[in-house]
């Protein structure tokens, strides 16, 4: 059996920065507690490891009662009013929001101030989307798929705004974004000025492209990543289009070895929040 691991599998820059930075905070922390608002990244194994090292994960900043406490902002970012609450409550913020996500926040703020209506493509209730929406103002519509475009255009027309910005969640499907963008360009009234900012990060695009290429050259694909990881789900969808024998797992324990006994070539890809240890364990399990 030949095992081919994607070159882009595993931690992206933003996730590595957040994880390494958080470990450094724990190591140098002189306060009794250090908190993280929400999951630092969408990977259960990474979160559990950080909990063991001493980080306390919370869902609401008001859970922090101690003065001069530190709170880590997750890689996906948070709503902008969180920073105001932290300052008001004398909580020190350690911001590990991915720079690509912060860039979207700035773009949304800029075009909101210019009076643009905003179409945002992404996954509903995803932490990154919740943060971005807080910078969009009132005139925005979230587009989850092609079916949402018609309603979004209706909302745009009702607003009487003649300037439109299109942006995206960093981990959205590049293929789906292009399809949605084309439909919008075709159906939006001609008097509307459209500005398109493809804010899907380069690491996401590259990873999806490599997954597509790899899935056409193997007999089976294994995608490794957190169950709640948006970018991992997109990799699974991309691989499945080209390789029917594709599964998405979080750990080696979900592998049925019997399924691969007659397989000659297996491709492995992993989401941006998947640690190298999870990838190594899957390879070891297959080699048995």
Tokens in use for 221?
């694909």
Catalytic residues: 128
Give the separation between CA 51 and CA 36, rounded to whole angstroms: 10
Q: With the C-alpha atoms ordered 259, 264, 269, 270, is the resulting torsion angle positive or negative?
A: positive
Give the separation between CA 23 and CA 20, rounded to whole angstroms: 5
Strand pairing partners for 93? Answer: 71
Strand pairing partners for 266? Answer: 3, 220
Q: What angle do CA 278, 33, 56 make, to 5 degrees?
A: 40
DSSP 16-68: HHHHHHHHHHHHH--SS-EEEES-SSS-HHHHHHHHHHTEEEES-GGG--STT
Q: With the C-alpha atoms ordered 38, 41, 42, 47, is the resulting torsion angle positive or negative?
A: negative
DSSP summary character for residue 206: H
Query: Residue 166: in which H helix or E strand, if any?
Result: strand 163-168
Tokens in use for 207?
């990873």
- Contact criterion met (CB below 8 Å) for 148 and 187: no
């Amino acid at each position: 059996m030949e095992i081919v691991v994607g070159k882009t599998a595993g931690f992206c820059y933003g996730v590595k920065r957040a994880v390494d930075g958080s470990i450094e905070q724990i190591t140098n922390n002189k306060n009794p507690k250090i908190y993280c608002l929400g999951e630092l990244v969408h990977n259960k194994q990474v979160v559990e490891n950080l909990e063991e090292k001493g980080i306390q994960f919370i869902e609401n900043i008001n859970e922090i009662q101690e003065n001069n406490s530190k709170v880590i902002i997750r890689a996906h970012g948070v709503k902008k009013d969180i920073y105001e609450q932290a300052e008001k409550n004398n909580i020190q913020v350690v911001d590990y929001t991915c720079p690509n996500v912060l860039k979207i926040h700035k773009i949304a703020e800029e075009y909101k101030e210019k009076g643009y209506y905003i179409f945002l493509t992404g996954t509903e209730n995803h932490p990154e989307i919740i943060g971005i929406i807080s910078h969009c103002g009132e005139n925005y519509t979230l587009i989850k798929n092609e079916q949402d475009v018609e309603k979004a255009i209706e909302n745009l027309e009702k607003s009487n705004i003649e300037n439109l910005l299109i942006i995206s969640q960093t981990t959205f499907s590049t293929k789906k974004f292009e399809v949605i963008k084309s439909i919008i360009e075709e159906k939006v009234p001609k008097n509307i000025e459209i500005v398109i900012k493809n804010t899907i990060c380069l690491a996401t695009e590259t990873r999806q492209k490599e997954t597509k290429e790899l899935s056409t050259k193997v007999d089976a694909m294994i995608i490794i990543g957190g169950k709640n990881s948006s970018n991992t789900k997109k990799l699974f969808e991309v691989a499945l289009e080209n390789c029917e024998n594709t599964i998405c797992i979080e750990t080696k324990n979900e592998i049925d070895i019997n399924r691969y006994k007659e397989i000659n070539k297996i491709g492995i890809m992993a989401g941006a929040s998947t640690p190298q240890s999870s990838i190594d364990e899957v390879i070891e399990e297959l080699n048995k």
